[in-house]
Amino acid sequence: MKKTHIILLLLIASSIAVIASVFADFSTYETFGSASSHPGKTYYVIGNLQKDKDMIYDPKIDANHFTFFAKDKEGKMEKIIFNGEKPRDIEKSEQIVMQGSYDHEGKFHCSRIQMKCPSKYKKDMVAEGKSS
């Protein structure tokens, strides 16, 4: 084999490795049950806001602390801790996508919330939390 062929094969192999490592980090939607089995790992959980449960947000005490309850597609309800201000119109969302992870105490800490809005004319809204 010529040197150029070897170099070309090495470049192709390294390109494939880089592309595979980038796409390996993409997540699919999980449930609270599967996400809780791997504390510290970030997951996307899709669920419904439980409007009949307490939503706690008091900007006078801490403007970057919002807790609420959500139920996933398997019906498991979980208390969510969001380190950010309460997203505007979260009560109007059909579904919410929560990006976060469980801590070692079994609490789900959410770093990002995407709200699926009921109107096809209104864009989905995203709330970003503060890093802790």
Q: Residue 20 — left, alpha, or beta (φ > 0 → left; ψ -120 to 50 → alpha)?
A: alpha
pLDDT tens figures, 40-55: 999 999 999 999 999 9
Mean pLDDT, residues 68-82 = 95
Domain assignment present for 6: no
* pLDDT at 84 exceeding the cut of 70: yes
The overall average pLDDT reported for the chain is 86
Domain that holds residue 118: 27-128
pLDDT tens figures, 89-124: 888 888 999 999 999 898 999 999 998 876 654 555
Domain assignment present for 31: yes
Q: pTM, whole model, 2 decimals?
A: 0.70
CA-nearest of 52, 92, 84 to 70 is 52
Domain assignment present for 87: yes
Report the pLDDT value the prediction gives residue 80, as an integer from 0 to 100. 96
CB of 96 closer than 8 Å to CB of 70: yes
The structural domain count of the chain equals 1
CATH number of the CATH domain containing 101: 2.40.50.140
Domain assignment present for 95: yes
